[in-house]
Amino acid sequence: MIRRREFITLFGGAVGWPVGVMAQQSRMPVIGLLSGSSPGAIPHLMTAFRRGVADAGFIEGQNVEIDSRWADGRVDRLPEMAVELVRRQVALIAALGPPASLATKAVTNTIPIVFLSGGDVVKSGLVVSLNRPGGNATGVNLFTQAVENKKLDLLSKLLPARATLAFLLNPKNPAAEEKAKEMQDAARGRSQELRILGASTSDEIDAVFVRLVQERVAALVIMADQYFDDSMRAKFIALAARNAIPAIYGQREYAVEGGLISYGTNLAEAYRLTGNYAGRILGGAKPDDLPVLRPTKFEMVINLKTAKALGLDIPPGVLAIADEVIE
């Protein structure tokens, strides 16, 4: 026979324990999102990311929460932000961009990581291999080097054979040194003079354009870089127009907003794929079972209005391969 006090204790324990477990089980999983950009710079890309998560069965506010950390161009803040997400014990971390990916990988080897990164993700240590990533990370790897070489090729078709070109990179980008060497090798193979320039602040970008004019550089290739593309896009377009310097960029938004030519990966698709991998991992997939994806959708956009303002005639062969021509 159970005494009243024992019954209350047992009843209380029986009720209290399941309620706690049920609360823990019903709590929505949290995707920790880390980016060196700012939310206002890439709203359409975040829409694509959420669409990818939803395609895997998770809708923000219904059965998943997204806790975002934005560095607003200050990549030095990313390591601290990555630690914050780890301390919150999020279900996984979506690391958007090379700096965010490396910062996240440095602080956890247990929380799943879904990255969106350019460069060599094997050499940088994000994964062991593309097909079997190993460890806790997988994601989407952009064809950034193939894109940069193609940008150089496209721009050179618009200029005299001996024209001097410049390649602008962000020295704070983890892949900057490797990119500089590869681009210099590509230019040398084409007998093209290429000057490597660096800028990581707004003032340094101003100084670069002063130098381009002083040294009579014919045109500029701008490296695909999160800080450049998200924070400095309007500045690049304005400076190129003001100084009459033909330039080629990595995102279609540049050409749409007045830049001469853009050529690069379809970033909206890359963000969607990143979100889809995040959703699949929430659904039970393991990072090591998901091979690193490499988007194969590339797009070239030409702004003919800008070409006319610069006094450039776009060759018919280049126009013919454009995905979009803005007139």
Mean pLDDT for the stretch of residues 239-253 = 95
- The rounded distance, in Å, linking the Cα atoms of 36 and 172 is 12
**Quick one: CA torsion of 229, 234, 239, 245, rounded to 10 degrees?**
60
Q: What is the pLDDT of residue 191?
A: 87
Q: What is the pLDDT of residue 5?
A: 41
* Phi, psi angle pair for 217, to nearest 5°: -75, 135
- The rounded distance, in Å, linking the Cα atoms of 268 and 46 is 8
pLDDT in tens, 211-226: 999 999 999 999 988 8
Task: Name which of 35, 3, 301, 270 is nearest 141 in CA terms.
Answer: 270
Q: What is the pLDDT of residue 40?
A: 85
pLDDT in tens, 61-112: 999 999 999 998 888 999 999 999 999 999 999 999 989 999 999 999 999 9
Residue scoring higher pLDDT (20 or 194): 194
CATH topology identical between 28-142+267-289 and 144-266+298-326:
yes
- The rounded distance, in Å, linking the Cα atoms of 131 and 97 is 20
Task: Name which of 136, 206, 199, 201 is nearest 168 in CA terms.
Answer: 199
- The rounded distance, in Å, linking the Cα atoms of 224 and 97 is 11
- Specify the long-range contacts of residues 281-286, CB closer than 8 Å, at least 24 apart: 281/91, 281/92, 281/112, 281/114, 282/29, 282/31, 282/53, 282/56, 282/58, 282/64, 282/91, 282/92, 283/56, 283/57, 283/58, 286/112
Q: Is the pLDDT of residue 12 over 80?
A: no
Domain boundaries, the chain: 28-142+267-289, 144-266+298-326
Angstrom distances, CA of residue 89 to CA of 72, 98, 117, 262, 308: 23, 22, 23, 39, 54
pLDDT in tens, 53-63: 999 999 999 99
- The rounded distance, in Å, linking the Cα atoms of 268 and 204 is 29
Q: What is the pLDDT of residue 145?
A: 64
pLDDT in tens, 121-173: 999 999 999 999 999 999 999 877 678 888 999 998 999 888 999 999 999 88
For the chain, what is the radius of gyration of the CA atoms?
24
> Is 279:55 a contact under the CB 8 Å cutoff?
yes
Fold of 28-142+267-289: Rossmann fold (3.40.50)
Give me the percent of the chain exceeding a pLDDT of 90: 71
Determine the 3-state secondary structure of 186 from DSSP: helix
Determine the 3-state secondary structure of 157 from DSSP: coil
What class has domain 144-266+298-326? Answer: alpha beta
> Is 307:240 a contact under the CB 8 Å cutoff?
no
- The rounded distance, in Å, linking the Cα atoms of 238 and 248 is 13
Q: Is the Cα torsion angle 282, 285, 126, 46 positive or negative in sign?
A: negative
Residue scoring higher pLDDT (125 or 8): 125
